[in-house]
Amino acid sequence: MREKMISDNIVSEVQYEENKLLSFQKINSKTVSYRVYENGMVGIHCQIGEITDEEGFLKAEENLRERPRPYPFELESGKRSRNLTEREVADKELLEIADDCMKYICGKYPDFVFKTSFSQNKNTQSRVNDKGMDYSNTDCCVNVSISFKHVSSKDIMDGFFNFSLRDFEMDVFTKMADNYLANYTTEVELPEEIIMDMQYYGLVGKLADSLNGENLALGTSLLSGKVGEKVFADGFTLTDDVTDEESWFNCFWDGDGCVLENDKQTFIENGVVLTGYADKKNAQKYGISHTGDAYFNFSDIPGAGVRNLRIGRSTKTVKELLNGRYCVVPLNYGGGGFADNGDYTMPVHSAMLCDGEKILGKLPPFTIVSNMFDMFGKDFIGVGADKPIYNDKQILFRVKKGNIL
Amino acid sequence: MYHFPKDLYADVRIEEYYNLNLHMKNDVMETDSSMTEKGAIIRVFDGEMWYTSTTNKLDDIQKELDNLATLAKPDPAIYEHPFVQKYQVHEATVLMYEGDKDARKISRGEWMELLDHYKGLCVDESIEEIPLWMVNVSCSHLKKSFYSSKGAAIIQDRQECSIGVVFGITVDGITTFGGKRYVKDCKEDLYGYENEINKERDKYLDFARNAVQVEPGVYTCILSPLATSMFVHESFGHKSESDLMLNDKTLQDEWVMGKNVGNGKVSICDAGDMPNHGYVPYDDEGTPAGVNWLIKEGKLVGRLHDAKSAATLGEELTGNARAQSYYHMPIVRMTNTYMEGGEDAPQDMIAGVKDGIYVYSVEHGSGMATFTIKPAICYRIRDGKLQEPLRVNVLTGSVFETLFDIDAVGNDFEMIDNYICGKNGQSVPVSAGGPSIRVKKMTFN
């Protein structure tokens, strides 16, 4: 039985350094995984660049003989194609978009130095096999990434904003730039109650580790022994959701070729841990539910990995969730993270005060002190229905303040 | 060779990369793969901007060069451009890993033997608190060829072989991961570390069983050589990368040459020609590695450059233009960065602390003006003696103050060879080093 996985990536990128055009770059890369299955084993050849299918499968057959890898599972089948592309921009247009954006921020905010990137990424992934599988997924978006530094700052960078759009709109850029930059030099104090307003992709990583079925089975997860229990806040629901419109380049199938029922799998519902996740291998090894969560591996067999963890959104906007309170938008933070016991400690080098829509002024540096169980439990306020600051989902949660210096 | 376009500067960097990775978790081979990759980045500069293209079709390089040239605006004076003038022209072949030293020739079976060797000597399944263990063996070999329209022709290689053993230690529902990883340039240098690994495992076991949470606050601290190495890299190293201050008067005034930026005991150097993890005999603009002192006895004496930053700031090239791979343009990066050892005995340094913290090991850090370090294992110091292990989530300090707060520099210098440094979306291998140091105050959370 033969199978082929392809990832085809085309990138055009315009970069600016210190407000000046630096480069225009084109990247065209194609990775193909040739896989030959026989008697519960698979031979794999991964090729970056050109090769004929005949050569690729021959090398996979060689590897099946010389270094077979175990894969005692039925191959998946099915036909489906998803193309999320809304509009592709030509290279000339991308250069014009970049030029327009830079003229806007450099003209309106001359006291800042910008390092920026404007790129268009187009990715097509496909998977076909002798069992009749024929899947493909295409996505294309323009990504804008702006880091900025005030001319008077002694730091190497003061803040950062970025967003992606499948159909670039200048209005989104100008609103975001104005929100981040207009009140940057207005100094304000941290409120008594500190409510963080963040994108949450980096925050759910510890949850992903904890929900790994293997860790649950071995007792090495912070959620071991807690499946079926209410651990988090009432409004906290966590789902692997491959339909999320604000995800980019994510496939609807997993590393084993499995497709989730309705493209979704819920792990935590209203605070109750329903199940951990597992690929086929771990499901068999530990006798746990197979949830269709395997990461892609072009040069080896897949392993357990969750793809697109999303927190259920509130019906309220960010401002409504705040209900008159202010929140903190961190601009430049890093170097901390989650500890083994779930503590979350994160130095915030620069941050802004926000009313849920408008950024009001710059806050002094501080350190976020929280814990996985608190930020998604007693301190969880919600994920807004709208996306006013990041042009993306925003989580609100209360934290304690730690010193930074 | 290539026909470079007229009145434009151009260069071509070709990379041939081999990687093998074997990863065993609880007796199951989770990863068993190897692959080879070839690609090139082609760059053309017209005095205003770069036009670049990346390809895996090495036969198409000339075509890509010609295509890029049609986008650029030829400039007959391109070779008088300030940073094109800076590009050096060297013809060199520095192939350290050919013949018997070429790790690509080592069979999978021989690598598995190395993995099994450490599994046999370091994995003790009778320890109930260790439900999870992992042994990883990896090898990579990279051959780079660089050609420029000024005439540079450089072929060089690098190779790294590694062994790592990691334990997941679960006590009271909390799992602490700890272990050791060694990176060397040849496989035979990876043997003989089992005692160190087992000692480290026992240290982590003690930590998992007995560690208490730190009381947040400002403490005097002793950094071990491992912790100092990360401190050097994060606190000052990133500030020495001069692409961050090209036309930035505030930063140029702050980091003016000759200024006192630290205690007189502090000297920091970056050297790409050291045979360590950040070994870069020629950088990705074709500049040979140098020994670049950044701080000498507390005074700022140098910084790291690519051609653009050197030309802009009127300084000399240092050989620090590095790219992660052929998908990337080079930017200013560290190589092997270290604080010079001193004369203080580490035990005397600890004895001089009445109430403080010893930072034994670290996980990662970040290098803004307020640098951060995420420690792994710390110990409380009371009345000059190491006491109970401490869980510390993060420690922070200001680069403008902390280098002055170093009041003792140890005689136990070490280089740490397993760092990967990230900047602007690019990761490159680096080494960092130093001795134990005592710092009068840092903030612990």
Considering CB atoms only, which of B48, B327, B370 is closest to A347? B370
CA distance A331 to B374: 20
Task: Show Cβ contacts of residue A340 under 8 Å, excluding neighbours closer than 6 positions.
Answer: B174, B175, B176, B177, B391
Q: pLDDT tens string for chain B (445 positions)?
A: 899 999 999 999 999 999 999 999 999 999 999 999 999 999 999 999 999 999 999 999 999 999 999 999 999 999 999 999 999 999 999 999 999 999 999 999 999 999 999 999 999 999 999 999 999 999 999 999 999 999 999 999 999 999 999 999 999 999 999 999 999 999 999 999 999 999 999 999 999 999 999 999 999 999 999 999 999 999 999 999 999 899 899 999 999 999 999 999 999 999 999 999 999 999 999 999 989 999 999 999 999 999 999 999 999 999 999 999 999 999 999 999 999 999 999 999 999 999 999 999 999 999 888 999 999 999 999 999 999 999 999 999 998 899 999 999 999 999 999 899 999 999 999 999 999 999 999 999 9
For an interface test with A, give the residue of B372, B378, B401, B443 to mutate (most A CBs within 10 A): B372
Task: Enumerate the domain spans of chain B.
Answer: 9-210, 213-444
Contact (CB<8Å) B394/A335: yes
Per-residue pLDDT, B367: 86
Residue in chain A closest to B51 (alpha carbons) equals A24
Bridge partners, residue B50, by sequence: A23, B45
For an interface test with B, give the residue of A209, A341, A400 to mutate (most B CBs within 10 A): A341
DSSP string covering B288-332, please? BP-EEEEEETTEE---B--HHHHHHHT----S-EE-SSTTS--EE
Q: Which fold has domain B9-210?
A: PmbA/TldD fold (3.30.2290)
Contact (CB<8Å) B50/A24: yes
CA distance A143 to A178: 18
CA distance B40 to B53: 8
Residue in chain B closest to A45 (alpha carbons) equals B35
pLDDT-above-70 percentage for chain A: 100
Neighbours of B105 (CB within 10 A): 11
CA distance A222 to B174: 7
Distance of CA B119 to the CA centre of its chain: 27
Q: Which residue has the tokens 């042009």?
A: A391
Contact (CB<8Å) A154/B250: yes
Phi and psi for B317 in degrees, rounded to 5? -65, 150
Task: Enumerate the domain spans of chain A.
Answer: 2-181, 184-405
Using CB atoms within 10 Å of the CB of residue A393, give its burial: 0 to 12 exposed, 13 to 18 middle, 19+ buried.
buried
DSSP string covering B241-260, please? BGGGGTT-HHHHHHT-TT-B
Q: What's the residue count for chain A? A: 405
Residues of A in contact with B244 (CB under 8 A): 156-157
Residue in chain B closest to A344 (alpha carbons) equals B393
Bridge partners, residue B51, by sequence: A24, B44
Q: Report the predicted TM-score, pTM, of the whole model to 2 decimal places.
A: 0.94
Q: Catalogue the E-assigned strands of A49-133.
A: 69-70, 79-83, 112-129
**Alpha helix stretches (DSSP H) within A239-311:** 280-286
Residues of A in contact with B52 (CB under 8 A): 23-26
Per-residue pLDDT, A49: 83
CA distance B69 to B249: 35
A171-191 per-position pLDDT tens digit: 999 999 999 999 999 999 999
CATH code of A2-181, in short, is 3.30.2290.10
